[in-house]
Structure 1
Amino acid sequence: MSVADTIRRKLEDALSPERLEVVDESHLHKGHAGHRPEGETHFRVTVVAGRFAGRSRVERQRLITSALKEEMGHPIHALSMKALAPDEADGSSA
């Protein structure tokens, strides 16, 4: 299973998102710290989930990193996160 598939599965299990996007951006970081030739090191996720309602940006990020705790550091070197409650997903961000 790819790292992106693992991220998707774990976030779906932990957060039951209404929308989930997982993008491997490793190719943009070639030659940077943490990059590996095989890729799958740098990711961007967008998560829209009811569990984020009423929570701060930091609390939302903690929910995401907690779900991915086994992967953080290795194989995931960098993770960019956009975490939104459903009522925020119309274009505004948290």
Structure 2
Amino acid sequence: MSKPFPVQAAIESKLSQHFNPSLLQVVNESHMHSVPANSETHFKVVVVSDLFTGKRSVARHQMIYKVLSEELAGPVHALAIHTYTDDEWQKTGAESPDSPTCRGGSKADQH
């Protein structure tokens, strides 16, 4: 398995430390967008934690935003967030939704 890039590693570390998740997936989806190779600008995170129990989606997302405020103020342009309790995760069949295809144009299309 390859070593994650610095931004991805920071995201993984912060989410692990703060949420103590039973499952954590941090996927660099930058390659799906019009960005330079090896970019760390677009991520999808799946966090399964009992800290989300009794909290609505907006509150859960705010918790993630707070923990990743430094990354969101800097290198991270887009963050797809999927949060679950253990029970909710089991009900999904242990699968997160696929991210949509990038709708932004490439730099070549801007002429």
TM-score in terms of structure 1 length: 0.87
Does residue 4 of structure 2 align to residue 6 of structure 1?
no
- Let me know the Cα RMSD of the aligned residues: 1.6
Residue 25 of structure 1: aligned partner? 29
Mapped pair 1:75 → 2:75: yes
1: CA distance, partners of 2:55 / 2:65: 15
- % identical aligned pairs: 38
Question: Whole-Å Cα distance in 2 between the matches of residues 58 and 89 of structure 1?
Answer: 17
The structure 1 residue matched to 2:20, chosen from 6, 10, 16, is: 16
Structure 2 unaligned runs (5+)?
97-111
Give distance in 2, aligned partners of 1:74 and 1:19.
Answer: 26
Q: What secondary structure, in the 3-state scheme, does the structure 2 residue paired with 1:76 have? A: coil
CA distance in 2, matches of 1:51, 1:65: 15
Gaps in structure 1 of 5+ consecutive residues: none
Paired positions, count: 89
2:44 aligned residue:
44
* Offset at residue 2 of structure 1 (A): 1.1
For the pair shown, the structure with the greater C-alpha radius of gyration is 2
Deviation at 1:36, TM superposition (A): 4.4
Tell me how far apart the structure 2 counterparts of residues 69 and 37 of structure 1 sit (CA, whole Å).
Answer: 24
Distance 1:11 1:36 in 2: 26
CA distance in 1, matches of 2:36, 2:8: 15
Tell me the distance in 2 between the aligned counterparts of 1:75 and 1:36: 13
Question: Structure 1 or 2: larger helix share?
Answer: 2
